[in-house]
């Protein structure tokens, strides 16, 4: 089975990428995964200054998913360049850094320094974190701000720029088009869905931050709809992300236009999930007579009416 996928300028061994925030910087999964069997990995988002993260409790289980308000704890860009990036750069797969700034200037500074140091094959611009007060989702919820930050990062970055979108908007297609207009090479869709959980007897929130982002299988249908809309709105390649836990899930995202997918929460609850999902995907393709992953791309045929498969 030929699993190779071209994601714009990036050539991937297969379409499965470890999503940011659920992968760490590389050492955390070393006992569980053979990185040379992955399409790629995206490091945890880094910020200019070190961040402690949000007050606990930071996560809460929900039906088929989990809410998180982690709040981007990280050691800051200096530590990332000294420790995280050198480790990441040695992994035998496509290596992607992730950045989140409170201002355009912070995005630019981090992108420039990562690009200049080398070792990352691409940079994902996280304008979609729902758990930080400044920056984060504020950029990704506004089309002009999305275009502005994308253009500024693109100008200082020697490697492909990936823009990660939030689904917490009225029209994600417009935001995706703005990212494309700003020069994005690739779009990741989507980050978590804003949600909350409450304990009614004592009338208190379940999260220290009150609200958080929902991930896991609960969001797959929501993410799929967003990815379809994004793929229809832009010409640049799209990475689908949100609730993927099986090989069939991967192929559904690819069918509606994702050229690759990111897997996040699945790997937290099942550290070896990537291997399983990959073999399931191969078996699915095989069973349906496909000889390559690329044959599964963008085949969506809504005009032919609903499926009678099941």
Question: Catalytic residues, which ones?
Answer: 129
In this structure, are residues 120 and 111 in contact, taking their beta carbons and an 8 Å threshold? no
Q: Which is nearer to other proteins, 53 or 173 (CB)?
A: 53
Q: Which stretch binds other proteins (CB under 8 A): 64-72, 136-144, 184-192, 249-257?
A: 64-72
Q: State the nearest-atom distance from the C-beta of 190 to other proteins, in Å.
A: 19
Interatomic CA distance for residues 28 and 126, integer angstroms: 21
Task: Work out which of 66, 190, 258, 263 binds other proteins, going by CB under 8 A.
Answer: 66
Contact residue for other proteins among 8, 15, 65, 160 (CB under 8 A): 65
23 binds other proteins (CB under 8 A): yes
Give whichever of 193 and 228 is closer to other proteins, judged by the CB atom: 193
Q: 269 by DSSP, 3-state: which?
A: helix
Give the residue carrying structure tokens 């990185």.
35
Peptide bond into 221 cis (omega under 30): no
Scan residues 249-288 and list those touching other proteins (CB under 8 A). Answer: 265, 267-272
Angstrom distance (rounded) from CA 100 to CA 47? 5
Q: Are 72 and 53 in contact (CB under 8 A)?
A: yes
Q: Give the x/- contact pattern for other proteins in 72-91, rule: CB under 8 A.
A: -x------------------
**Rounded least distance, CB 56 to other proteins, Å:** 5
Among 119, 136, 167, 216, the residue binding other proteins under the rule CB under 8 A is 216
Q: Of the ranges 65-73, 89-97, 138-146, 150-158, which one interacts with other proteins (CB under 8 A)? A: 65-73
Residues binding other proteins: what is the number (CB under 8 A)? Answer: 32
- The single-letter DSSP state of residue 46 is B
For residue 80, say if its preceding peptide bond is cis, omega within 30 degrees of 0.
no
- The residues, any chain, with a CB within 8 Å of residue 249's CB and separated by 6 or more, are 220, 243, 261, 277
Closest contact distance (angstroms) between CB of 66 and other proteins is 6
Q: Are strands 16-18 and 260-263 parallel, antiparallel or unpaired?
A: parallel
Exactly one of 45, 59, 146, 168 binds other proteins (CB under 8 A); which one?
A: 59
CB nearer other proteins, residue 72 or residue 224: 72
Query: Residue from 6, 9, 11, 28 that binds other proteins (CB under 8 A)?
Result: 28
Residues 46-84 as b/e (b if ≥16 CB within 10 A, e otherwise) read bbbeebebbeeebbbebeebbbbbbbbebbebeebbeeb
The residues binding other proteins (CB under 8 A) are 21-24, 28-29, 31-32, 52-53, 56-61, 64-66, 68, 70, 73, 216-217, 245, 265, 267-272
């Amino acid at each position: 089975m030929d699993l190779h996928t071209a994601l714009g300028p990036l050539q991937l061994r297969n379409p499965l990428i470890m999503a940011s925030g659920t992968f760490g910087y590389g050492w955390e999964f070393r006992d569980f995964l053979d990185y040379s069997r992955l399409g790629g990995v995206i490091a945890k988002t880094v910020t200019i200054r070190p961040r402690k993260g949000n007050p606990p409790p930071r996560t809460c289980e929900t039906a088929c998913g989990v809410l998180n308000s982690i709040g981007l704890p990280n050691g800051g860009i200096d530590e990332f360049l000294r420790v995280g990036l050198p480790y990441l750069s040695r992994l035998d797969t496509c290596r992607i850094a992730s950045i989140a700034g409170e201002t355009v200037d912070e995005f630019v500074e981090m992108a420039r320094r990562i690009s200049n140091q080398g070792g990352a094959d691409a940079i994902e611009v996280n304008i979609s974190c729902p758990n930080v007060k400044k920056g984060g989702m504020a950029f990704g919820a506004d089309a002009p701000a999305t275009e502005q930050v994308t253009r500024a990062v693109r100008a200082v970055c020697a490697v492909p720029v990936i823009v990660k979108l939030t689904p917490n908007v009225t029209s994600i297609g417009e935001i995706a088009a703005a990212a494309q207009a700003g020069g994005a090479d690739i779009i990741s869709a989507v980050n978590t869905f804003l949600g909350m959980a409450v304990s009614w007897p004592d009338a208190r929130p379940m999260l220290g931050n009150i609200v958080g982002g929902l991930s896991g299988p609960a969001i797959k249908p929501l993410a799929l709809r967003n990815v379809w809309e994004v793929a229809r709105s832009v010409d640049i390649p799209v990475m689908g992300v949100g609730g993927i836990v099986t090989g069939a899930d991967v192929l559904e995202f690819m069918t509606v236009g994702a050229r690759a997918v990111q897997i996040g929460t699945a790997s937290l609850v099942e550290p070896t999930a990537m291997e399983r999902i990959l073999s399931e995907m191969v078996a699915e393709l095989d069973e349906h007579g496909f000889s390559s992953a690329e044959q599964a791309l963008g085949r969506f045929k809504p005009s032919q009416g609903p499926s009678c498969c099941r």
